Amino acid sequence: MAIHRFRALEEVMTRTPVKVELPSDKVSDFFGRHVFGQDAMRKYLSEEGFGSVMNAINSGTKIDRKMAEQVANGMKAWAMSMGATHYTHWFQPLTGTTAEKHDAFFTPYDNGRAMETFGGGQLVQQEPDASSFPSGGIRNTFEARGYTAWDPTSPAFLIGSTLCIPTIFVSYTGESLDFKTPLLKALSALDGAATEVCQYFDKNITKVTATLGWEQEYFLVDTALYNARPDLQMCGRTLFGHPPAKGQQLEDHYFGSIPERATAFMRDFEQESWLLGIPVKTRHNEVAPNQFECAPVFEECNLAVDHNQLLMDVMEKVARSHNFRVLLHEKPYSGVNGSGKHNNWSMSTNTGKNLLSPGKTPKTNLQFLTFFINTIKAVHDNADLLRASIASASNDHRLGANEAPPAIVSIFIGSQLTEILEDLEKRVKSGKMTPDEKTALKLDIGKIPDILLDNTDRNRTSPFAFTGNKFEFRAVGSSANCAGAMTVLNAIMADQLLIFKKDVDKLMESGVEKDEALFQVLVDYIKKSKRILFEGNGYSDEWKNEAKKRGLNNFNTTPAALDAYVKKEALALFERLHIMTHREQEARHAIYLENYTKKIQIESRVMADLAMNQIIPTAIKYQKILVDNVSGLKNILDTKDYTKVAGPQLEIIMEISSHVGTIKDHVDTMIEERKAANVIEDHKKQAVAYCEKVKAHFDEIRYHVDKLELVIDDENWPLPKYRELLFTK
C-alpha cells in the first residue's frame, strides 16, 4: 500500500537539520584526501612509477605491465592504509549511471589462510559480468563479455572502504560500450588538431587540453513525500499534480537564503566532494522553490566528466542521510522551472593560455579569433549532431517545450564580438588590409572579455553562448552524463581545426602571407556560418519562425534528434577522427532509442497504474459520499428545497463522472497503443510509436487527473500536492 500523503507530511513536520561537522575549518587541509592523487602517488610509488603515471596523464604514453604491477602495489598500500578492503573498476555504461563490481583484496590460499592481493593484472583489466549493460547488439553472446580497462588520466579514489579505479568499458572486439572511450578519443583528436593550429602563433605550444566546468542544477524533496509519490520513485518526475496557487512567479527563492535543512545537506555533500578532490565552489538557490545549483572550478574535460558523475552519486547517497531525495530529472514538476547542466567549455595550452580568452597582444588576439571563429563554424556545420548529443526523453521536456533553451541550436556572442566580425568581413571584402589596420583590429578584440564577463550583458535564452573566455553549452540536461555532449563538441572542433589548417596552408602554399591567409579563411568562415548567430530572445515564437527562414533545424523530440548520429556525414566524421566506427555509432544510436522507449514505457505504465489504482478509486469514494448526501437530502426535504440544496453536489457528481470517464478512455487506448508499439522490432519506429502514439495521451490524462485534484476532498487525495512537494521545509 502506498503511504498516504498525510502520514508523509506528518513525518516531514518533525524533521530537524542533520548536524554536519567538517574535518577541519580549512578545506585545503582535507581536499583530495580520498584520492590517489599526486601527493599520495609520490608517497606510495617509486620515482619511476610516479613518472610513468604522470607521463600517461600528460602525454598519453602506455604504462607497461611491470610498471602497472608497481602502481597496483602502491595503490593497494595507500588504499589499505585508509581502511579499504575492496576494490572495483568504476565505469560509465550507456545506461547513464555509473557501474561498479566490488572485489575483496584478500585472496584465500592453502591451509585456510588468506592474503591481500591486488596486482597489475587486476588494476589494468577486469571482466565485469556485463551482459546486462546495453551494447546495441555489439556484444552478443558469441563474442562473450566486455572488459574494463584502467584510465590512468583519472585518479583512483575511495568510497567508503572501496578503492574505485576509473576505467573504460569495451567489448572484446574493441568496440566502446561506454561514455568514456569515445570521449578520450575525441579529446586526443582535439589535442592533435588544436596543437597544430597553435603552431601558427606559438611554437612552444605542444599540448592543448579541453576544459570543462559544469553547473549542476537539482531539486530536493523530502524522502517521506517522495515515497508517497510512485511517479517520483519510478520516473524521477511527477506525472500528475495541479500547479500551486503560488509558483515561482515571485522569484523569491532565487538567491534567497538557503533553507537550513538544505544547507546541512549541502555542507555534507560538499565535504564528501572535497575529500574526493571535486573542486565544488559555488552553491545557490535556483529559480524554482526547492531547486538548487552547485558548480565546481573547471578542470580538464575527462576529469570534470568523472567528477560530475561522481558528484551525482555522492549527492544521492548523502541526501538519504538527510531524509532528502535528489531529483536530477530535467523536469520534475510541470509548470515549474526545469533543471539543466551548463557545460562551460574552453581549451587551454601547456603554456597556460586559455585559447578562448583574448589577450593583450595582437598575436594572441588573432589566435583567440581563430579558435573563436572555428568554434562557430564547427557548431554551425554540425548543429544537428550537437542537438543529438543532448537528446533524451527527460530533456525533451525542456528543449523545445516552452522553456529554455530551445531545441534550435544557435550561438550568442554579444554585441561587441558581433561588431568585430562584421567589421572584419567588411574590411577583408574591400581588399587587402594594411598592416596597421590588422594590428588595430587585433587590438580591438582585446577589449571584449571585460564586457562579456560582466553577467548583466548575457543572454540567458541561448543554448550556446560565449561568456567572455569560454563557451557555455546550456542545453545539456541535468541528469545527463556530460561525456555525450563533450565527445561531440570536442570531436567537431577537432575536425573543424583540421579543415582550417588545410585551408590556411593551401593559401600559404600559393604565396599568401600567413596573417593574410588566416584572415581570409576566417572571414570566409564568418560568411558561411553567420546564420547560426542569434542575439535575441531564444524562447520567442519569432525566433522559431526566423530560424526556419534561416534553414536551422528544430528537432523537438528525441527520436527525431537522434537521427543526426547516423547520418552519413556524422559517421564519416567519427570515423576519420578514429573516435567511433560506423558499427559503434549505429549501436549507440540503437541504445539511445531503446533508452527513450523504455523511459516512456515506464512513465506510461506508472501513469496508468496511478490513474486506475489511486486516482479513480479516490474519485469514486468521494463521489459516493456526495451521492449518499444527495439521497439523504432527498429523504428529508420536499422537492422544491431538495432541488435547491442538492444542486451543487449533483454538479460535482457529474463532473467527477466526466473526468473519470475521459481518464479511463485514454488509459485504455494508451495501453492498446503500448501493446502495438511493443511488438515493433525496428528501434527507430518503436521509439517514434512511443513518442507519437503512447506519450500522446499523457497530457490529456494528466489534465483530467489534475482537475479531479481540485474538486476532491483534500482529506482523501492520496498524492502529496505540488505545494507540499515544493514548499514544505
Q: Please tell me the distance from the alpha carbon of residue 330 to that of residue 342, in angstroms, as a whole number.
A: 12
Min dist. Cβ of residue 484 to Mg ion (A): 19
Residue 345 contacts which entry, ligand ADP, Mg ion, none (Cβ below 5-8 A, type-dependent): ligand ADP
91/473 with CB nearer Mg ion: 473
Q: Please tell me the distance from the alpha carbon of residue 394 to that of residue 238, in angstroms, as a whole number.
A: 12
C-alpha to C-alpha distances, 206 to 193, 429, 719, nearest whole angstrom:
11, 34, 59
Residue 358 contacts which entry, ligand ADP, Mg ion, none (Cβ below 5-8 A, type-dependent): none
Q: Is the dihedral of CA 42, 47, 51, 52 positive or negative?
A: negative
Q: Nearest-CA neighbor of 396 among 562, 637, 634, 525?
A: 562
Alpha helices (H) along 199-340: 223-227, 230-235, 260-275, 301-321
Min dist. Cβ of residue 469 to ligand ADP (A): 6
303/580 with CB nearer ligand ADP: 303
342/530 with CB nearer Mg ion: 342
236/358 with CB nearer ligand ADP: 358
Min dist. Cβ of residue 584 to ligand ADP (A): 28
Min dist. Cβ of residue 356 to ligand ADP (A): 7
- Between CA 268 and CA 278, with CA 274 as vertex, the angle to 5 degrees is 120
- 215 neighbors 342 (Cβ within 8 angstroms): yes
Q: Please tell me the distance from the alpha carbon of residue 390 to that of residue 476, in angstroms, as a whole number.
A: 5
- 720 neighbors 8 (Cβ within 8 angstroms): yes
Q: Phi and psi dihedrals of 90, rounded to 5? A: -110, 120
Query: Measured at CB, which residue is nearest to ligand ADP?
Result: 213
Look-up of cell digits 513536520: 13
357/604 with CB nearer ligand ADP: 357
356/616 with CB nearer ligand ADP: 356
537/662 with CB nearer Mg ion: 537
Min dist. Cβ of residue 2 to Mg ion (A): 39
Residue 211 contacts which entry, Mg ion, ligand ADP, none (Cβ below 5-8 A, type-dependent): ligand ADP
CA atoms in the 13 A half-sphere facing the CB of 602: 16
293/709 with CB nearer ligand ADP: 293
242/342 with CB nearer Mg ion: 342
Cβ contacts of residue 303 below 8 Å, gap of 6+?
Answer: 153, 154
370/479 with CB nearer Mg ion: 479
162/344 with CB nearer ligand ADP: 344
Min dist. Cβ of residue 162 to Mg ion (A): 34
Name the site residues for ligand ADP (rule: CB under 6 A). Answer: 211-213, 215, 295-298, 344-346, 354, 455, 467, 469-470
- Please report how the helices 616-636 and 639-678 are oriented relative to each other, as an axis angle in degrees rounded to 10: 160
Residue 34 contacts which entry, Mg ion, ligand ADP, none (Cβ below 5-8 A, type-dependent): none
Min dist. Cβ of residue 487 to ligand ADP (A): 16
Q: Phi and psi dihedrals of 517, rounded to 5? A: -60, -45
31/345 with CB nearer ligand ADP: 345
Min dist. Cβ of residue 587 to ligand ADP (A): 31
Residue 392 contacts which entry, Mg ion, ligand ADP, none (Cβ below 5-8 A, type-dependent): none
Min dist. Cβ of residue 544 to ligand ADP (A): 26
Strands 280-285 and 208-222: unpaired
CA atoms in the 13 A half-sphere facing the CB of 710: 12
Residue 78 contacts which entry, ligand ADP, Mg ion, none (Cβ below 5-8 A, type-dependent): none
- 656 neighbors 708 (Cβ within 8 angstroms): yes
Q: Please tell me the distance from the alpha carbon of residue 186 to that of residue 718, in angstroms, as a whole number.
A: 50
Q: Please tell me the distance from the alpha carbon of residue 393 to that of residue 690, in angstroms, as a whole number.
A: 11
Residue 297 contacts which entry, Mg ion, ligand ADP, none (Cβ below 5-8 A, type-dependent): ligand ADP
Q: Is the dihedral of CA 239, 244, 247, 252 positive or negative?
A: negative
Q: Please tell me the distance from the alpha carbon of residue 228 to that of residue 1, in angstroms, as a whole number.
A: 10
Min dist. Cβ of residue 554 to Mg ion (A): 24
Min dist. Cβ of residue 413 to ligand ADP (A): 15
Q: Please tell me the distance from the alpha carbon of residue 107 to that of residue 135, in angstroms, as a whole number.
A: 32
Coil vs helix vs strand at 271: helix
Q: How many CB atoms lie within 10 A of CB 643?
A: 13
Phi-psi region of 110 (alpha: psi -120 to 50; beta: other; left: phi over 0): beta
Q: Please tell me the distance from the alpha carbon of residue 133 to that of residue 449, in angstroms, as a whole number.
A: 45
Phi-psi region of 706 (alpha: psi -120 to 50; beta: other; left: phi over 0): alpha
Instruction: Go through 698-725 and write b for each residue having 16 or more CB atoms within 10 A of its CB, e for each that does not.
Output: beebbebbbbbbeebeeeebbbbbbbbb
324/345 with CB nearer Mg ion: 345
53/347 with CB nearer ligand ADP: 347
Q: Please tell me the distance from the alpha carbon of residue 329 to that of residue 395, in angstroms, as a whole number.
A: 8
**Residues paired with 472 in a beta bridge:** 344, 465
Name the site residues for Mg ion (rule: CB under 5 A). Answer: 342
Min dist. Cβ of residue 674 to Mg ion (A): 39
133/345 with CB nearer ligand ADP: 345
Min dist. Cβ of residue 464 to ligand ADP (A): 13
Min dist. Cβ of residue 540 to Mg ion (A): 21
Min dist. Cβ of residue 59 to ligand ADP (A): 21
Query: Measured at CB, which residue is nearest to Mg ion?
Result: 342
